[in-house]
Structure 1
Amino acid sequence: MPPTLSTETATSETRRRAARIATEVLAPWVWVLGLPLAVAWQVTGHRLGEALMWGLIVGITGSLIPMAVIVRGAKQGKWDSHHVTNRAGRLIPFAACIGSLALGFVVLIVGSAPHEMIALAAAELACLLVALAVTFGFKFKISMHAIVAAGATVMLMRVYGPWLALLFLGVAWVCWSRVELKDHSVAEVSVGTLVGLIVGGGAFITLASALG
């Protein structure tokens, strides 16, 4: 028997609920806050104080400060939501992210942070600059969810081992969620994933090896 209207509606709502969960739980700010703490924990030899210090420098300047600007702007109606799904509204959020993280990057260098942390901040900056160029230079709303999730997965694999390739399941889930919610197209999440892998992950691996 063909599915009834109520069954189709329930299935559609279940899909959207799963998509909303992925979009929030695997949002860029969540990755950018947790990733540096995870990397710092490993590269400092599990020394809690040092791990928190270096991890929070990147997490606060790369995630919390920009997110505070974005949420405030969303409440003031400057863009549609804290995910800033309208392409034209992304300039100020990009500027906030780049400016704040650049400050954290300088602090890491001046403070002689572990080279992996410097490489991490540099890779994140590179991703932001590429995303900015693509978004406004090519007028293509590249997915930051995809960039950050894919890049973070490669970074964690480099630091903890290849078994963390399992996180690509999360990358696939969040990419699906952005398309399911109609915030991005398949092309936008696909290009975002490639940028995350090549620019984010590639820059991190290259710089961490060169600086080490």
Structure 2
Amino acid sequence: MTDLGVQDRRTVIDVTARALTEVGAPWVVNIVASMIMGVAVGAPGWGVFVAVCAGVVPMGVILAGMRRARIGDHHVTRIDERHLLMVVLLVVVLGGLVVQIVAHAPIEMIAFMSAGLVALLVAAVITSLFHWKVSVHTGVSAGVTVVLALAVSPWWLLTLVLTPLIGWSRVHLGDHTRGQVVVGALAGALAAGLTYASIA
């Protein structure tokens, strides 16, 4: 009976970790945050556009890579699969940013996309130059939270509690070390926050 109880507890913990990893996935967080930003600045159409560039297209690229057997899973857990992917995503986000600038999108949405671009660039540099799989999950979670706090309301800082939970899930599932989730969160928050504040 005791062994069964321990097994049940482990199952619950594993399921919780998996749920947090899926809900806190970068593409999910980017879509939700983009829509919130769009509504907050009175430009829901641009919110949809950014959601597509920062969430839908990136996941589409990952799924295409999985179908071609170039990417093993939708969280891209192998570091050697991340290098080219990050370059492709940087090009996608940069293209979206150019469209925003040319079409005179609200400065807040341009700053939001720029913040994501810089945060992704920082993650790419750490991953490629140092060959260290910094957590994009915690980077996006912390970065988006800081930007929403700057752009919408300081109350958004309360949602920072989600970042360590997401980080725990990534460590529990064996996809990252503690250092990788901590550095990811700090890099994402600083890169995104400073970029947004300097533009908006």
TM-score by length of 1: 0.90
Equivalent in the alignment of 1:36: 34
User: Over the residues paired in the alignment, what is the CA RMSD in angstroms?
Assistant: 1.3
Whole-Å separation in 1 of the counterparts to 2:60 and 2:112: 22
**Runs of 4+, deviation exceeding 4 Å:** none
Whole-Å separation in 2 of the counterparts to 1:58 and 1:102: 11
Report how many aligned residue pairs link the two structures.
Answer: 200
Whole-Å separation in 2 of the counterparts to 1:200 and 1:17: 30
**Deviation for aligned residue 1:5:** 2.2
User: Where does structure 1 lack aligned partners over 5 or more consecutive residues?
Assistant: 45-49
User: Where does structure 2 lack aligned partners over 5 or more consecutive residues?
Assistant: none
Whole-Å separation in 2 of the counterparts to 1:200 and 1:190: 15
Whole-Å separation in 1 of the counterparts to 2:78 and 2:87: 16
AA at the equivalent of 2:99: V
1:12 to 7, 10, 13: 10
**Deviation for aligned residue 1:36:** 1.6
1:84 to 58, 65, 76: 76
Alignment of 1:106 onto 2:98:
yes
**Deviation for aligned residue 1:62:** 1.6
Whole-Å separation in 2 of the counterparts to 1:57 and 1:103: 12
**Deviation for aligned residue 1:65:** 1.1
1:65 to 48, 54, 57: 57
TM-score by length of 2: 0.95
AA at the equivalent of 1:15: I
**Deviation for aligned residue 1:114:** 0.9
